[in-house]
Amino acid sequence: MAPPQTNPANEDLADVVRLIERMRNGERRAISHAVTELERLSAAAPALLQAMQPHLGHALVVGFTGSPGAGKSTLVNAYTRYVRSQSKTVGIIAVDPSSPVSGGAILGDRIRMTATLDDDGVFMRSLASRGHLGGLSPAAVRVIDALDAAGKDIVLIETVGTGQSEIDVAEVADVRVLVTAPGLGDDIQAMKAGLIEIADILVVNKADREGADRSVRDLQMMQGLAAEHGDWVAPILKTVGAKGEGIAELAEAADRHLAWLRESGELQARRRAHLRLRVETILKERVVREADQVLGLDREVERGFASRTDPYRVADRLFEGVVRREAEERRT
């Protein structure tokens, strides 16, 4: 008897469906595997992303941004312990724009995180975002999806504050937490009002240190100057991350913000805007890649440079090449 006909595409799909089942059972190795595939955008990634789609949208995504040393990692750790005590599952993504994954800062975070690493309800991944402008790379966004699809109740993202990364994390997080601490007073002054505007919760960590109330007043003043977004006014909370103080209030504020997002319709609006941004990013990357493959981006630039052609003409030529190739491919 002839072997049954198998469709490789269907087989791939069956594989990813099985993988997602294992992820949703909390199998650490399955989640780790999926995260790696998505991070690298491997050949299996598109099928995985497609199969994950029905499982997305459950996780509450909380982004922590702020200056280095403010206590973001400490807060993420304390927050994780707190929500684990309520039996919620947690995914953590630490994004460092410069260090390779084995670098010092991330290693420090790893050590601080060890308390939660042997808990199957917590999955953590560090990502280096080097090679991508700004804070959150498209890879990081796909990893958020993986943790969401794995059924994590809460996904926490820590990015190192570099202005742009706050804005990038704002695009994906349901709750944007801006962390500062006394002694970083200069940072508060330097922090653009824009950062305060996009924060949903403002945290003054290290409230055990002198100057915390002063930091709170500074934030209140800056908030007064900033434009409001909707009818949500970001609460200003004091925490002592190192001792877990103020974490219950922080979690409660995050839940309140989620409720507000849902009631006001802002949640759908944000998620739609985020989808648009992702599609836009994919489109841009694809056009550039195809232009490079069709005519050779560097070669065309070199030609344009030598012949003093303006950049629009060079781009036109590349884009026309892409369009022509697409048309040819459709014909065959």
Ligand X SMILES: Nc1nc2c(ncn2[C@@H]2O[C@H](COP(=O)(O)OP(=O)(O)O)[C@@H](O)[C@H]2O)c(=O)[nH]1
Question: Shortest approach of Mg ion to residue 168 CB, angstroms?
Answer: 17
Binding string, 70-99, against Mg ion, x = CB under 5 A? --xx--------------------------
| Out of 47, 101, 226, 242, the residue judged to bind ligand X by CB under 6 A | 242
Taking CB under 6 A as the rule, does residue 73 contact ligand X? yes
Question: Shortest approach of ligand X to residue 209 CB, angstroms?
Answer: 5
Burial of 184 (0-12, 13-18, 19+ CB in 10 A): buried
Please check whether residue 26 is in contact with residue 142, taking contact to mean a CB–CB distance below 8 angstroms: no
Of residues 74 and 116, the one with the C-beta less far from ligand X: 74
Question: Shortest approach of ligand X to residue 68 CB, angstroms?
Answer: 4
Of residues 23 and 127, the one with the C-beta less far from ligand X: 127
Binding string, 175-214, against ligand X, x = CB under 6 A? ------------------------------xx-xx-----
Closest CA to 255 of 271, 235, 277, 274: 235
Question: Shortest approach of Mg ion to residue 156 CB, angstroms?
Answer: 12
Q: Residues touching ligand X: how many (CB under 6 A)?
A: 14
Question: Shortest approach of ligand X to residue 7 CB, angstroms?
Answer: 48
Interface with ligand X by CB under 6 A: which residues? 68-74, 205-206, 208-209, 240-242
